[in-house]
Amino acid sequence: MTVRTRFAPSPTGYLHIGGVRTALFNWLFARQHGGQFLLRIDDTDAERNVAQALQPILDGFKWLGIDWDEGPTDDGQESRGPYGPYFQSQRGDRYQAAVKALLDRGLAYRDYATPEELKVERERAEKEKRAFLYSRRWMAESDEQAAKFEGEGRKGVVRLKLHREGKCIFDDLVRGRCEFDWDKEQDHVIQRADGTCLYHLASVVDDDDFRITHVIRAIEHLANTPRQIFIAEGLGYTLPKYAHLPYVAEPGSSQKLSKRKIAQYLKNQEFKRLYDHGIEIVQRLGRGDVSAETFNPVIVDFYRDVGYLADAVINYLMLLGWSLDDKTEDFSRAEMIQHFSLQRVTKAPASFDPKKLWAFQDRHMQRVPTKQKVPLMLRFLQKAGLVSEPAPCDVGPKLTRIIEASGDRLKVAGDILQYADFFFVADDQLAYDEKDFQKRVAPPQSHDLLCKFKEVLATVEPFDNEPLEAAMQQFLQDEGIKIGDIIHTVRVAVTGKSVGPGLYDCLSLLGREAVLRRIERALEKAQ
RNA sequence: GGCCCGUUCGUUUAGAGGCAGGACACCAGGUUCUCAACCUGGCGACGUGGGUUCGAUUCCCGCACGGGUCACCA
């Protein structure tokens, strides 16, 4: 039997990090077993423009490298795959047929209770301190009865006629044996008064139509499983295996991570740091419109737009509620697929930890060869308007050297804007960090040393790292100063700030002319 | 409130009836032209009360705390 798993996003306009984790586990499980992973679009509730609200989700998966074998096409306009359509809004006839079958088999009934009547029953149960269970007083057991109720002007829904005794028992691949009393289950509505069908019915019908073998989903759905089993068994389906994953919790809390609570998360220092760093980069790209509502670390776009590596994000998410053993943390795609197992999913929720995610990104980035970093970072330089499009042919070699000189400082691709922007601006456009300038260049002593060192730089030949360093050493000796007395001054004068790649790298990369011009300008500004 | 679930360093995890291990973070030292990175070391956890046992963080029961779920939402 081929393993088939699915992830079922609602077209909400964004891809939530917790959803990605669920999708990832589905994807890994399918890939490991040589099976299929599919996307089903839960848009039974959607009013408008599904394709538009779906696009960010599909783009997110594509960026992450979570590919789907069946589901919507890349543009979200149509379905692709043998069991489609994969949009619930287009599968109404399948659901209607299922409702009819359940009615025919006496496993569901037409119900004509009004919301008010139900409310009365509910409140009475509450008053008597017992669990509410619908009396089925307005249940129509025959067409005549239904006609009678309808004659009274009532509107009918279809409810499941659930068992009222015994237990629903099933094995969960993560949680083990699960038991629920049937008499605690409500006669859930499966078809609305307007004739449309509800999620639980749709989900079960689709899973069977799509030949889903393993339903791997968030724990929120655990309590829904008995009614879904009831539907599936009633329709004669083969039950899928179930696996319920713990939810992803907030940073520093055990509550479920939610996009709506973003303002609260920003009070968390580490979360805020991650966010601020991202915002800074995105603003350099000229996106002034960003707000925490649409751009934040709970949403996958954040990581893509800031220049994280998809592998790092995936690697981190994989370990949110799963582990291989007591030490292995770094996994390549192939290793993830090889080692993943539902048995090792934890039962307790795991908090999203911005610091740990950052550490994964750091480690992954260190492993990316310069050659691969170049195109990644070039895109950011171009988006920020620092390099023209198409890029001039000398940019490649130059950027390669810049990236090498920057080393591990570039944590995300967008960091290139922070660390290397000064390489790409005109000498007379260089912006100075005012604080650094006042501290390092403005003082008369610094100013004088810079003047003298400028003369040295004018004669260094060739204008390269080693001669530059040798010239610096000679200068220190001649002046009887320590390197700290001059090097920061030079750095701020030519780069505009006090942090960056090694100074000799900066100088040689800029070239003598640019360096001299920049020092000249700094000296003028200091007077 | 009913039902269901969970609880190991700050966070994430490993673990077995017999020394509680790793990672991130943090702290200290080293290295360094800044910032990173890197190296060495350190701090630091089994929610609680009973029971079973020679011995319980591990098995059992209660409690506490945290969470999920109880829609004509998905």
Confidence at A41, pLDDT banded by 50, 70, 90: very high
Residue A263: the pLDDT is 87
Residue A46: the pLDDT is 61
Could you read off the pLDDT of A76-129 as tens digits, one per residue? 999 999 998 999 999 999 999 999 999 999 999 999 998 888 988 888 888 877
The active-site residue, picked from A259, A261, A272, A356, is A259
Residue A368: the pLDDT is 95
**Who among residues 422-451 of A has its Cβ near strand B, under 7 Å?**
none
Could you read off the pLDDT of A377-416 as tens digits, one per residue? 999 999 999 999 898 998 999 999 999 999 999 999 999 9
Mean pLDDT of chain A: 93
Residue A47: the pLDDT is 63
A219 touches strand B (CB under 7 A): yes
Q: Which nucleotide is nearest to A184 (CA to C1')?
A: B3
CA distances from A77 to A42, A71, A201 (A): 14, 11, 24
Could you read off the pLDDT of A473-493 as tens digits, one per residue? 999 999 999 998 999 999 999
Q: Which nucleotide is nearest to A487 (CA to C1')?
A: B33
Could you read off the pLDDT of A354-383 as tens digits, one per residue? 999 999 999 999 999 999 999 999 999 999
Task: For residues A324 and A341, give the distance between their C-alpha atoms in angstroms, rounded to a whole number.
Answer: 8
DSSP A87: B
Could you read off the pLDDT of A11-34 as tens digits, one per residue? 988 999 999 999 999 999 999 999
A349 touches strand B (CB under 7 A): yes
More confident residue, A288 or A514: A514
Closest CA to A18 of A309, A299, A425, A268: A299
Q: Has A435 been annotated as catalytic?
A: no
Task: For residues A433 and A436, give the distance between their C-alpha atoms in angstroms, rounded to a whole number.
Answer: 5
Residue A461: the pLDDT is 87
**What integer is the mean pLDDT of A204-221?**
95
Could you read off the pLDDT of A279-319 as tens digits, one per residue? 999 999 988 778 888 899 999 999 999 999 999 999 999 99
**What integer is the mean pLDDT of A49-61?**
91
Among protein residues, the one whose C-alpha sits closest to the C1' atom of B65 is A254
User: Is residue A70 within 8 Å of A27, Cβ to Cβ?
Assistant: no
Residue A48: the pLDDT is 64
Q: Which nucleotide is nearest to A465 (CA to C1')?
A: B33
Q: Give nucleotides in strand B with any atom < 7 A to a protein C-beta.
A: 1-8, 10-15, 21-25, 33-38, 66-74
Residue A316: the pLDDT is 96
A72 touches strand B (CB under 7 A): no
Burial of A213 by CB count in 10 Å (0-12 exposed, 13-18 middle, 19+ buried)?
A: buried
pTM (two decimals): 0.94
Confidence at A233, pLDDT banded by 50, 70, 90: very high
Q: What ipTM was predicted for this assembly?
A: 0.93
